[in-house]
Amino acid sequence: MVSVQAPPRRVGLLLRVLPPGLYAGRARTLVERAVMVYAGNRLILLSGAAEPLLYLLAFQLGFGRLVTEVAGPDGRPMSYVAFVAPALLATSAMNGAIFEATYNLFFKLRYAKLYDAMLATPIGPLDVAMGEIGWAMTRGGLYAVAFLVVAAAMGLLASWWALLMIPAVLLVGLAFSAIGMALVTFLRSTAQFDYIQLVLTPMFLFATTFFPLSVYSEPLQWVVRCLPLYHAIELMRGLATGILSGSMLVNLAYLLALGAVGLWASTRRIAKLLLT
């Protein structure tokens, strides 16, 4: 009599709930691969960490001497450099996540055909999305630690709540890398990356990075409130100053929702491009 061996039991909530071809619980292997790749290219990681630090030093030694104070989150005056510092950290997390989830992913998807090879193994589209997003979050976390050390040494952090800026950076990385990954699956050539910069540059300049929301008229304030970077900056600024408010829960919910939508969309797009 021939005995039929039962299939192995799928351990973990996602493994039990999701279809077998979508998720295999191997997202960590993509993070491990990224770590091995960047182990021989440490200068790339260092350059990403150096950019916000150079901005910070420029404001401390240059422009910060001209504009000494600005209205803080609670309306009271605060050091201009301390006002800008959390915004630079949020911007750094955004740029690192977008670069990792768009330029690098586009090359792997369109030229190296890396994901075609991965999906020939038990790895599924959700593993790919979660793995790439996980690495973008890890990279942002490394930048956050370096930034916080320098900002603390410069006396720009006013509260122990600033330690929560590290998980906040991970959340910013999740939101921007997930939505960036979903968008890049629609691109067909490197020339189309100009559209991404066309969105990122104005958002960097106008999402209260360098001046408070109150400088805008009321209609424009609502436009700025719709920008994802605005919510990242407000969350970071509240933690850095220790001035917590209920609006930070809105910032948190916005970034979580953006990350969830991006993860769902990127998984569907990767599955459509590579499995059909």
DSSP 244: -
Report the chain (276 residues): mean pLDDT per 10 consecutive residues: 47 50 74 78 68 72 68 78 87 83 81 78 80 82 79 80 88 89 84 85 89 88 93 92 88 94 86 74
Element (H, E) at 147: helix 125-153
pLDDT of 13 reads 47
Are 80 and 59 within 8 A, CB to CB? Answer: yes
Q: Tell me the three state secondary structure of residue 9.
A: coil
Which residue bears the tokens 């910013």? 172
Task: List strand residue ranges (DSSP E) for the chain, in order.
Answer: 69-71, 77-79
Question: Residue 71: what are its φ and ψ, rounded to 5°?
Answer: -70, 130
Q: What is the pLDDT of residue 7?
A: 44
Task: Using DSSP, state whether 208 is helix, strand or coil.
Answer: coil
Residue length, the chain? 276
DSSP H or E segment with residue 240: helix 228-241
Cα–Cα distance, 174 to 191 (Å, whole number): 25
Q: What is the pLDDT of residue 152?
A: 80
Query: Collapsing DSSP states into helix, strand and coil, what is residue 77?
Result: strand
